[in-house]
């Protein structure tokens, strides 16, 4: 799923583009919009989108003014304009693509496909950068980050920020220290061995926990781990001794 925002000074243009995307580019999810450059900057900072559909000519500041005001352009751009000369200027500004109003559905699909390729390349580069950092800082495990691939994105999270994991059919839910939950499209057994060196233990087939966040091992009610946030994680009968030894280390 590509998370996107639309910045255009005319509401009917925004509505029209939303309808075209829904019909022809269902992989794009619009998570915000704005009617001018200043509001556009705010919505970009808030949503942190993968893709921005940006009108060039707007009252006051232009789409180019908006881009110049953002220190780091961590998203792809498709300019939308009613004037061909502005489209040419947009290309010179290193845009991925531009669309002329009224928008042709086939041109829209082509531009979105190109943007998707660039977004995937950027994610892969981030994954490679993360690998390099792991290799360079192999001893500083508290700073290591693990890539968690959800339907929307690949998030990189410090292992020290993961409280526990819980199996959900062929998916895994990661519970973070911040309270956020991330649903990952991989079964939990794939993370069992990976996280073992980072202080994680598996008290139950459906649960993996970070020892740092275990408050106590409770013997009653068949036994469970009481986490610092009050969560009760079951301990299977066969693993009680192993978990007790692991917690004592």
DSSP string, 184-211: ESS-THHHHHHHHTTTEEEEETTEEEEG
pLDDT band at 139 (very low <50, low <70, confident <90, very high): low
Interval 33-49: pLDDT, tens: 999 999 999 999 999 99
Peptide bond into 102 cis (omega under 30): yes
The CATH label, of 2.40.50.1020, 3.30.70.141, 3.30.497.10, 1.25.40.10, for the domain at 141-248 is 2.40.50.1020
- The candidate with the shortest Cα–Cα distance to 99, out of 51, 36, 137, 170, is 51
Interval 213-241: pLDDT, tens: 999 999 887 789 999 999 999 999 888 88
Domain positions in the chain are 2-123, 141-248
Indicate the CATH number for domain 2-123.
3.40.50.2300
Percent of the chain with pLDDT over 70: 90
Give how far Cα 15 sits from Cα of 6, 9, 32, 103, 226, Å. Answer: 10, 12, 12, 12, 50
Are residues 208 and 187 in contact, defined by beta-carbon separation less than 8 angstroms?
A: no
Interval 163-216: pLDDT, tens: 999 999 889 999 999 999 999 988 888 888 888 888 999 999 999 999 999 999
**pTM here?**
0.56
Are residues 69 and 22 in contact, defined by beta-carbon separation less than 8 angstroms?
A: no
Cα-Cα end-to-end distance for the chain: 42
Residue 121 CA to residue 117 CA, distance in Å, equals 6
Residue 242 CA to residue 203 CA, distance in Å, equals 8
Interval 78-87: pLDDT, tens: 999 887 676 6
Phi, psi of 52 (to 5 degrees): -125, 125
Residue 178: Cβ-neighbour burial (10 angstroms; 0-12, 13-18, 19+): exposed
Q: What is the pLDDT of residue 141?
A: 73
Average pLDDT, the chain: 88
């Amino acid at each position: 799923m590509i998370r996107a925002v639309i910045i255009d000074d005319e509401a009917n243009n925004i509505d029209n583009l939303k309808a075209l995307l829904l019909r022809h580019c269902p992989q794009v999810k619009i998570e915000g919009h704005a009617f001018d450059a200043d509001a556009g900057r705010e919505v970009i900072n808030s949503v942190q989108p993968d893709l921005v559909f940006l009108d060039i000519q707007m009252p006051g500041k232009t789409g180019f003014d908006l881009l110049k005001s953002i220190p780091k352009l961590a998203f792809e751009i498709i300019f939308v304009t009613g004037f061909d000369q502005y489209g040419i200027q947009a290309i010179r500004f290193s845009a991925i693509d531009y669309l002329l109003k009224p928008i042709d559905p086939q041109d829209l699909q082509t531009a979105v496909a190109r943007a998707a390729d660039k977004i995937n390349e950027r994610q892969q580069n981030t994954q490679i950068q993360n690998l390099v950092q792991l290799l360079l800082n192999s001893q500083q495990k508290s700073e290591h980050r693990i890539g968690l691939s959800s339907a929307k994105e690949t998030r990189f999270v410090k292992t020290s920020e993961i409280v526990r994991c819980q199996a959900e059919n062929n998916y895994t839910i990661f519970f973070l220290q911040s309270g956020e939950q991330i649903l990952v499209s991989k079964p939990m057994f794939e993370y069992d061995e990976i996280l073992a060196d980072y202080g994680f233990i598996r008290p139950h087939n459906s649960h993996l926990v970070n020892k740092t966040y275990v408050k106590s091992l409770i013997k009653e009610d068949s036994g469970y781990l009481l986490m610092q946030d009050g969560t009760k994680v079951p301990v299977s009968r066969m693993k009680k001794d192993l978990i007790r030894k692991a917690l004592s280390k």
